[in-house]
């Protein structure tokens, strides 16, 4: 038999509701979970972490985004392309839709002086899109950040 400690009085779980009412203890609380988040679901779902590919990733996905530098933008036959340089000095030609960095950010837009990447994650069952812009370095001036 369990016990409940209420206002300094040890009360048995088997006690009648009438006695609880006589003591002035009422419980009209009813929890309705409709429309509320489940308190037992973690804030960040496992699917929000980058999925490991069964295929070998490209060298472009070997470094964090912060280590890449935008070095050139080219428009050829109506298609925009950009040149990214990794920390080792190796260059990569990217187009819209290319995955970049260990974060697997997707190239979403290329302009004449910048490259916009999107990182998509899920938290609380909603998709979060983080946009990162890399700017072209002009005349020895670093425009990133």
Q: What is the DSSP string of 29-78?
A: -----TTS--TTS-SS-GGGSPPPPSSPPPGGGSS-GGG-EEEEEEEETT
d(CA 86, CA 92): 8
Tell the burial category of 85 from Cβ atoms under 10 Å away from its Cβ (0-12, 13-18, 19+): middle
Q: What is the pLDDT of residue 12?
A: 53
d(CA 84, CA 89): 9
**What domains, with CATH codes, occur in the chain?**
1-30 (no CATH), 46-135 (2.30.30.830)
Q: Sheet containing 91-94: which strands, arranged edge to edge?
A: 69-76, 79-85, 91-94
User: Is the whole-model pTM more than 0.85?
Assistant: no
Residuewise pLDDT in 10s, the chain (145 residues): 455 555 555 555 555 667 777 777 776 767 788 888 887 877 766 555 555 555 657 889 989 999 999 999 999 888 999 999 999 999 999 999 999 999 899 999 999 999 999 999 888 888 899 999 999 987 765 545 5
Rg (CA), the chain: 29
By the 8 A CB rule, do 118 and 130 touch?
yes
Q: What is the pLDDT of residue 126?
A: 87
Instruction: Give the position of tokens 């995955």.
Output: 99
Q: What is the pLDDT of residue 49?
A: 54
Q: pLDDT tens for residues 94-125?
A: 999 999 999 899 999 999 999 999 999 888 88
Query: Between the CA of residue 44 and those of 50, 122, 126, 127, what are the distances in Å?
Result: 12, 7, 10, 11
Q: Which residues contact 91 (CB under 8 A, 6 or more apart)?
A: 71, 83, 84, 85
């Amino acid at each position: 038999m369990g016990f409940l400690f209420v206002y300094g009085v040890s009360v048995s779980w088997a006690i009648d509701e009438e006695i609880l009412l006589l003591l002035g203890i009422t419980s009209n609380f009813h929890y309705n979970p409709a429309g509320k988040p489940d308190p037992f679901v973690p804030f960040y779902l496992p699917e929000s972490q980058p999925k490991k590919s069964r295929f070998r990733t490209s060298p472009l996905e070997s470094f964090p985004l912060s280590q890449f530098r935008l070095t050139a933008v080219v428009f050829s036959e109506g298609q925009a392309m950009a040149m990214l340089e990794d920390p080792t000095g190796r260059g990569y030609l990217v187009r819209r839709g290319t995955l970049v960095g260990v974060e697997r950010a997707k190239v979403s837009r290329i302009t004449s002086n910048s490259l916009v990447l999107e990182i998509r994650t899920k938290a609380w069952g909603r998709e979060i899109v983080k946009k990162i812009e890399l700017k072209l370095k002009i005349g020895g001036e670093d425009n990133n950040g």
